[in-house]
Structure 1
Amino acid sequence: MPNERLRAAMVTAGWTCATLAAEVGVDPKTVERWVSIGRTPHRVTAVKTAEKLGEDVQALWPALAHARRARAANAELVALYGQRAELSVTAFVDLIAQAREHVDMLVYAAVFLHEAYPGLNDLLRERATKGCAIRVAVGDPNSANIQQRGREERFGDGIESRCRLAAMHYSPIARTPGIAIRQHGTTLYNSLYRADDQMLVNSHVWGVNAYSAPVWHLRRHSKGGMFDTYAESFEAAWATAVPVREG
C-alpha cells in the first residue's frame, strides 16, 4: 500500500523523490518504492529521512517500532529483531537495491524472498549490470546436514523441497554476467544477507524455524569486527559450494 503519510510529508517539506534520495544517500527509485508501495527503509536511513522531513520516524514507518535499537552493545550492531517475521521483505529488498559493490546471500532456501517479491531476479540482474557482484548460495537438498536440519525443525522433507525450489527460482540467472548461484551442504548456523557494508544475520535456533529466530542488522565499522566474522563465514561456505545449473 502507498505510504500517504510519507507522500504528504515530502510535499509539505518541498522534497521530490530525486532530491530526498540525494540528501539521504539512496537511489531515487528506492524513495519511489517507499512512497508508492509502502516499503520500509533500514532504520538508519529512515531516521535520517525523518529528520530531513521534520517528522517522527515511527509515524512515517510504524513497522520500525518493532525494531529494538542496539545500545552500548557493539558499534556494528544497528538493530535487533526478536524474529525474522518482524521484518517485512522490503527490508531485504531495499538492502539489495542499495548495494553498489557486493550482494552475498548464504541460506538454505529463503524462498520467502521470491514468494513475497517476484521481481527479485530482475533486481539482481539490474544490480549486476551496475557492476555489483552477486553471489547466492542455497542449500543442496541431498546434503545430510540439510536433511538433519529438516528433522530438527520438524519440517520433514519440506526443507529439502524448499531448497530445490530455491535453486529453481535462481537458475534462470545462474549464467548472468556478474551473478553466481551455488549450492552448499554446510551446517548453517546463520542465514546471511549482505549488501556492501551492511548485513542482516538470521540466527538459527535448534528446533525453531528461521522466521521465528532473531535477526540482527550489522553495519561494518572496523576491520576484524562482528561484520567481518560473518563475512569470513560466508567465504568459507562459498568455497565449498558448487554452481547451480542454468534453468
Structure 2
Amino acid sequence: MQNERLRAVMEAGGWTHAALADVTGVDPKSVERWVNLGRTPRRATALAAAEALGEDVHALWPALRQARAARAVSPELVALYGQRADLPVSVFVDLFSQARQRIDVLVYAAVFLHEAYPRLNDLLHQRADDGCAVRIAVGDADDPNVQQRGREEKFGHGIESRCRLALLHYRPLTDVPGIELRTHGTTLYNSLYRADDQMLLNAHVWGVNAYGAPVWHLRRHGDGGMFDTYAGSFDAVWEMAHPVEG
C-alpha cells in the first residue's frame, strides 16, 4: 500500500527519492519502498526524514506512534487476565513447581488453591526439601481489617471462616524446615503469589470477591521495577505478621 501522505509532501517540496535518501543516509531504493510499498523506516531515520520534509513524523508514519505506545507497556508484564476465575489452578501449580529459591504467598484465604489442588501441601513440602524458602501469610480472622473486607464483599462472616480454613490447610506445614506460616491483619490491596522472579498478582476491587478481580503475571526485569515494588510490600507485611506455631 502506497504512502500517499509521504508522496504528496515530497512532491510539494520538490524532493526526489535520491535527495531524501541523501539527507537520511539510506539507499534511494529504501525511500522508494517508503513511498510505493508503505514501508516504515526505523525511528531515527524517520525523524531525520520528517525534519528534512518539515512534516510531523507520526503524520507520515502512524505506525511509529503505535510502536511507541506498545513500548510504554512494562517489560515486566507477561500477561493480564480480566479476572482470577479465568486462570486454571494449574497456572498457580506450575508457577510454584518451577520455584528453586523462594515461594511467597500473601492472601487473606485463597482456599481455592487447596480445593482445586489437594496436593498443594505436598508440592510445597517438596519445594522446601529441595532448598526453596517458603513463606505463607494468611489473614487473621479476628482482625478488623479482615472483617471489614468481608463486609465490603457482602460475604458476611464468610471471609473469616475462609481465613480459618486456610490456616487449617497450611498448618501441617509449620513443622517442615524451610516453610514459615504467619497471619496478618493488613489492608490487603493485592493477593500475591511469587515463585523466584515470577509473580501472579491478584488485584483487589472494592466490593468484588478476589475471583472476579484482575490478575497480573509479572516477571522481574532489573532492579526497582514493578516486581520489586510488590515484592517489597510482601516483605513489609511479613515483618508485621504473627508466626503460627505447629
Q: TM-score, normalised by structure 2?
A: 0.71
Aligned to 2:178: 178
Instruction: Give the gaps of 5 or more residues in structure 1.
Output: 1-70
SS across alignment from 2:175: coil
**1:234 matches 2:234:** yes
Task: Provide the C-alpha distance between the structure 1 equivalents of 2:155 and 2:231, rounded to a whole number of angstroms.
Answer: 28
SS across alignment from 1:147: helix
How far is 1:175 from its partner? 1.7
SS across alignment from 1:80: strand
Aligned to 1:162: 162
Aligned to 2:216: 216
How far is 1:238 from its partner? 0.4
Task: Provide the C-alpha distance between the structure 2 equivalents of 1:142 and 1:245, rounded to a whole number of angstroms.
Answer: 17
Aligned to 1:188: 188
Task: Provide the C-alpha distance between the structure 1 equivalents of 2:152 and 2:188, rounded to a whole number of angstroms.
Answer: 13
Q: Report the number of matched residues.
A: 177
Aligned to 1:74: 74
Q: Percent identity?
A: 70
Task: Provide the C-alpha distance between the structure 2 equivalents of 1:222 and 1:109, rounded to a whole number of angstroms.
Answer: 31
How far is 1:135 from its partner? 0.2
Task: Provide the C-alpha distance between the structure 1 equivalents of 2:215 and 2:203, rounded to a whole number of angstroms.
Answer: 6
Task: Provide the C-alpha distance between the structure 2 equivalents of 1:184 and 1:229, rounded to a whole number of angstroms.
Answer: 19
SS across alignment from 2:192: strand
Task: Provide the C-alpha distance between the structure 2 equivalents of 1:115 and 1:216, rounded to a whole number of angstroms.
Answer: 22
| RMSD, matched Cα | 1.1
Task: Provide the C-alpha distance between the structure 2 equivalents of 1:161 and 1:117, rounded to a whole number of angstroms.
Answer: 20
**Equivalent runs, 1:109-128 vs 2, <5 Å:** 109-128=109-128
**Equivalent runs, 1:20-99 vs 2, <5 Å:** 71-72=70-71, 73-99=73-99
Aligned to 1:5: none
Task: Provide the C-alpha distance between the structure 2 equivalents of 1:158 and 1:93, rounded to a whole number of angstroms.
Answer: 25
How far is 1:244 from its partner? 1.7
Task: Provide the C-alpha distance between the structure 1 equivalents of 2:209 and 2:233, rounded to a whole number of angstroms.
Answer: 21
Task: Give a deviation string over 1:61-87, Cα, whole Å, max 9, x none.
Answer: xxxxxxxxxx53101000000000000
Read off the aligned partner of 1:162 and give its amino acid letter: R
How far is 1:245 from its partner? 2.9
Aligned to 2:198: 198
Task: Give a deviation string over 1:74-116, Cα, whole Å, max 9, x none.
Answer: 0100000000000000000100000000000000000000000
Read off the aligned partner of 2:214 and give its amino acid letter: P
Read off the aligned partner of 1:88 and give its amino acid letter: P
Aligned to 1:33: none
Read off the aligned partner of 1:237 and give its amino acid letter: V
Instruction: Give the gaps of 5 or more residues in structure 2.
Output: 1-69
Aligned to 2:101: 101
Aligned to 1:147: 147
Task: Provide the C-alpha distance between the structure 1 equivalents of 2:110 and 2:99, rounded to a whole number of angstroms.
Answer: 19
Runs of 4+ in 1 over 4 A off after TM superposition: none
